[in-house]
Amino acid sequence: MIGFYPRSPSAAPSTRNGYIRIDCYGGLNQLRRDLCDGIAVARLLNATMVLPKFEVAAYWNESSGFADVFDVDHFIEQTRGYVEVVKDMPEEISLKEPFKVDCRKQKGHFDYVETVLPALLQHRYISLTPAMSQRKDRYPSHAKACYCQGCYNALKLNKKVEAKAMELLQAIPKPFLSLHLRFEPDMVAYSRCEYSALSSKSLDAIEAARGEDRNVLVGDAAHLWRNRGKCPLTPSETAFILQALGIPTETNIYLAAGDGLMELDGFTSIYKNMYTKSSLLTHEDFERMHGNTKAALDYYVSVNSDAYVTTFFGNMDKMVTAMRTMQGLQKTLVLSRRAFANYTAAGLAGDQLAKAMWDAHREDYIMGRGLALPEHCFCEFKL
């Protein structure tokens, strides 16, 4: 277990200001991020926290709850002394709907005590969606302690999911690299980047996912956007960079990804020893799983892999790379879309491009830390 600030009887006062439920939106790792924030906010507001609610949009086609993925009793035990968490509330409280407080669109630094505490004191039971861009390093030390304990010690997969994750991990030939590859139609459509060399099937899928407000950027705007590293790496580009970094083509690779990846042949034609959840689990197991359960398996395998590489620094990557760094697992790397775009825009190709990509990743590759954690992280860890 990772050690943080010590627990203290005074860390969670006995007189509470009310009850708070954290409403988490999105995929599993966004839910995890919201929950980490929410634990710290509950401590800031001196509130009793009830088990969180997973509010998943229809887009995710998801119906699982907190207990379907995480160990509830472990969560309550590990947060004791930091913040009080309860399964049930007094009947007079539980019979009413909580007052909703949505902080997702709050910009910059704002004070939860000033913004949210009045509603908590008035209604005694609120549901809170934390801000998406709040600076945790500005929290007081007791709230930082809750954030760290909640993120890195309290959130443990429940026994059923963990057993399946361990089974999956054991089935992968060792040693192996876990690759989080993102090139789904919706992601490419959302990026507003143009890819002219894709198959007609992929182009049709991207167009179907685009919608009216996500037109492809053109001209100078498109060049600027791509050179800022905003365009996802294709599977073939990812394979090229891995080769440039000297990663052997016979490497065992676990593909930590959702459904719908496009152009995967561009990767598997070079790196042939690739494994997925669907190839290692039984068809019955795979079909019964919720999306959050599948994401939990990817998270577990990626944290415990011999090396972790990602083509995108999204919510899963932030959680996985942070946890790996906290545990002293140093072979972690975020591929640079910006460097690849800039060098290809300058006309580099073949061996010249490969050397340039090695130079761009050399320091992070040797350190094995990459963008895992900020240089000065308030959670104690050992490198």
Residues contacting residue 306 through CB under 8 Å, at least 6 positions apart: 174, 175, 176, 177, 331
Q: For domain 160-183+232-367, give the CATH number.
A: 3.40.50.11350
Q: Are 27 and 257 in contact (CB under 8 A)?
A: no
Instruction: Report the C-alpha gap between 48 and 296 in whole angstroms.
Output: 27
Q: Residue 58 gets which letter from DSSP?
A: G
Residue 325: what pLDDT?
Answer: 81
Amino acid at 178: S
Residue 318: what pLDDT?
Answer: 87
Angle at 210 between CA 29 and CA 291, to 5 degrees: 30
Question: What angle, 0 to 180 degrees and rounded to 10, lies between the N-to-C axes of helices 337-345 and 350-367?
Answer: 160
Question: What angle, 0 to 180 degrees and rounded to 10, lies between the N-to-C axes of helices 315-326 and 291-303?
Answer: 40
Residue 62: what pLDDT?
Answer: 54
Residues contacting residue 218 through CB under 8 Å, at least 6 positions apart: 194
Q: Residue 228 gets which letter from DSSP?
A: T
Residue 367: what pLDDT?
Answer: 67
* Spans of the chain, pLDDT less than 70: 1-14, 56-63, 108-109, 133-134, 330, 366-378, 380-383
User: Which among 293, 216, 212, 228 has a CA at the least distance from the CA of 258?
Assistant: 293
Residue 321: what pLDDT?
Answer: 87
Residue 108: what pLDDT?
Answer: 65
The Cβ of residue 134 has, within 10 Å, a number of other Cβ atoms equal to 18
